[in-house]
Amino acid sequence: VNRTRIDVVLAAIGLEVQRVRGTRAWVLCPFHESSSTSAFFVRRAGERAGTYHCFSCKAGGSLADLVMHVRGLAGEAGEKEARDFIRSAGKGFEPARRRVRVVAREAEISRARFSLPREIVFAPWEEWLTEPRAYLEGRGLGREEAEAFRIGYAVSGPLAGRVVVPFLDERGYPQSYSARTLVGDVPKYRTPDEREGASVDAVFGAHLWPPAAERKRCAVIATEGAIDAMSIRRILQGMPDARAVVCALNGSEPQAGQLLALATFGVVLDASDDDPAGNGAARTIRYAMGRHAEYRRLLLPADANTMLAGGDGARPRPKLLRKLIGVALTG
């Protein structure tokens, strides 16, 4: 979003822009006591640039009217001062005289929100195609995970023949995805291209976390892959007393934002794989947690999913998985 002259004036009078949509900058209305959602916008470009309107209290007028109101100016002299202010906005003028409510600005308003590729099919479980459904069921997973984690699949486009696991943030917005091939394509897992605008800080499972205020009494079990995280969640569902949730970091290179998210918990159970890459990740996580969270390693004799459902010639060992999780949670 290019900054316009109007944006500069709005900043100079201390009005925080909540969001910009096209030519409209949405701000909390300074003419009435408003809630957290804004019904007030200022046209920031075009023929009528600077004019404003409130859908709630019906205030409306010119940019000079707005500046006069916010800065408490009146009369002809006030009008002149407002016009002078606008002309030299941001240069040597005092901040707003009237107290103006400051609202949290949406992070990086100029950045488009990541969205999942359109070709992904999100069908009710009954309508899933055989192959993706058989894949999840073969892993000991199914409807529960498909619904809780909003898993989809693609039959066309670049992700064709893949099960797509979205990474949803704490508010449920997609931040990234991991798409596993069902037909032996390379790479086995496909993640978003940089140009798609995905976040490297995305954490799989965050949309099911408790509110931040409750997390210090709670443990998070961090795995590398989403399938392992979902497998551990299956086990946790049979442990009603366990105060623990899961997440996956999508690999063995924990990112700063992911570490910050982990540090909001009281205990971090690190289920990184027991291999050189996993042990490197474990070191990073342990150092990053420092005093923020209690760090414990959850070393498993095999992938959590292999323990849940078997595979590669190994038999399922869900009871052992449950026992090891229980021991690690007890500390």
Where on the chain is the footprint of Zn ion (CB under 5 A)? 29, 31-32, 54, 56-57, 59
Residue 284 carries which DSSP code?
H
**φ, ψ at 181 (rounded to 5°):** -70, 145
CB-wise, 12 or 29, nearer to Zn ion?
A: 29
Min dist CB 33 to Zn ion, Å, is 9
Stated length of the chain? 331
Among candidate residues 7, 29, 14, 9, the one with its CA nearest the CA of residue 84: 9
Among candidate residues 234, 160, 174, the one with its CA nearest the CA of residue 203: 174
The 3-state DSSP class for residue 264 equals coil
**Residues whose CB is less than 8 angstroms from the CB of residue 96 and which lie 6 or more positions away in sequence, other chains included:** 13, 14, 70, 71
CB-wise, 27 or 235, nearer to Zn ion?
A: 27
CB-wise, 28 or 202, nearer to Zn ion?
A: 28
Please tell me the distance from the alpha carbon of residue 2 to that of residue 110, in angstroms, as a whole number.
8
Min dist CB 32 to Zn ion, Å, is 4
Min dist CB 53 to Zn ion, Å, is 9
**Residues whose CB is less than 8 angstroms from the CB of residue 98 and which lie 6 or more positions away in sequence, other chains included:** 30, 70, 71, 72
CB-wise, 96 or 218, nearer to Zn ion?
A: 96
Among candidate residues 321, 330, 117, the one with its CA nearest the CA of residue 229: 321
CB-wise, 2 or 36, nearer to Zn ion?
A: 36
Min dist CB 78 to Zn ion, Å, is 21
Min dist CB 23 to Zn ion, Å, is 19
CB-wise, 32 or 283, nearer to Zn ion?
A: 32
Min dist CB 184 to Zn ion, Å, is 60
Among candidate residues 163, 172, 278, 158, the one with its CA nearest the CA of residue 227: 163
User: What residue type is assigned to position 95 of the chain?
Assistant: P
CB-wise, 52 or 295, nearer to Zn ion?
A: 52
Min dist CB 69 to Zn ion, Å, is 11
